[in-house]
Chain A
Amino acid sequence: MEHQVDLTIDAKGQKCPMPVLMTSRGIKKIESGQVMLVEATDGGSRSDIPSWAKDTGNELLETTSDNGVFRYLIRKK
């Protein structure tokens, strides 16, 4: 499923907890209903980003991984 991405956060190379902090910072910059793409290489993000999304009520639309890069599509609540 293709989504229009309104903001891309490049957290590649960043270690815990930076991907979550950058995700949190990013979500403040978009409007409700808009979609943010977060790219990270930190393995911890595989559990951190989904749990962050669940607990903050934002919707994790899609998680993909490619060549060590994890991509998370998140829709702001």
Chain B
Amino acid sequence: MSDAAMSADNDSDVPNAMTIVAWSGDLDKMWPTLILGSTGAAYGMQTTIFFTFWGLFPLVRDDVRVTGTNAMTKALAGMNRPGISHMKLSKLNMAGAGAWMMNKLATDNKVASPKELIEMCLELDVNLWPCEMTMELLGLRRDQLIEGVGDPVGAATALSAMSKSQINLFI
């Protein structure tokens, strides 16, 4: 039997790597992203989440109000408050009332919050990679991001991880 066939046999059908591109910073998209990411790691998969565009804002520390380097990027953070605890719903947000209700329902039902899940991801060694280009575009600094995230990387690094993953998701 060839080496390739042997290793295919040994690997059986269990995936061993997953990469999620977290494009959306909406509460109702980032939540499942973090659920799948942490569960993937619990499954023993090498799990990577690549945070890009709107997905980067939840990686900013909750206590950081203003990000950006000029009027435009600062205004963006003003209209779209960064932080894992400040995400909005993609629909029925109702100026925050919808998001508040969703968080309340989750707490009442003992569903782990995005903040707890991201801590779980870090504990389970999920790679949390911020997109370098978007960070520059949005004027985000490394020290404004939560502790434990990886070095900012580019699209090629993300694709390299994806090419080695059996599961690739764009959320």
Contact = CB atoms under 8 A, between A and B. Distances in A.
A8 interface: no
A52 B35 contact: no
A13 B43 contact: no
B42 A20 contact: yes
Contacts of A16: 35, 111
B43 A55 contact: yes
Contacts of B124: 21, 24-25
Interface string B95-111: 00000000000000111
Interface in B21-43: 35, 38-39, 41-43
Contacts of B120: 21
B143 to A, nearest CB: 29
Interface residues of B, number: 15
B110 A20 contact: no
B92 to A, nearest CB: 21
A39 B35 CA distance: 20
B110 A15 contact: yes
B123 A25 contact: yes
B111 A21 contact: no
B147 to A, nearest CB: 20
Given A16-B35, A55-B14, A24 B41 contact: yes
Contact of A15 (B38, B39, B109): B109
A63 interface: no
22 contacts: A13-B110, A14-B110, A14-B112, A15-B110, A15-B111, A17-B35, A17-B42, A17-B112, A18-B112, A20-B39, A20-B42, A21-B39, A21-B42, A21-B124, A23-B42, A24-B44, A25-B42, A52-B42, A52-B43, A55-B43, A55-B44, A56-B44
Interface of A: 13-18, 20-21, 23-25, 52, 55-56
Given A24-B41, A25-B123, 13 more contacts: A13-B110, A14-B110, A15-B109, A15-B110, A15-B111, A17-B39, A20-B42, A20-B43, A21-B38, A24-B42, A24-B124, A25-B42, A55-B43
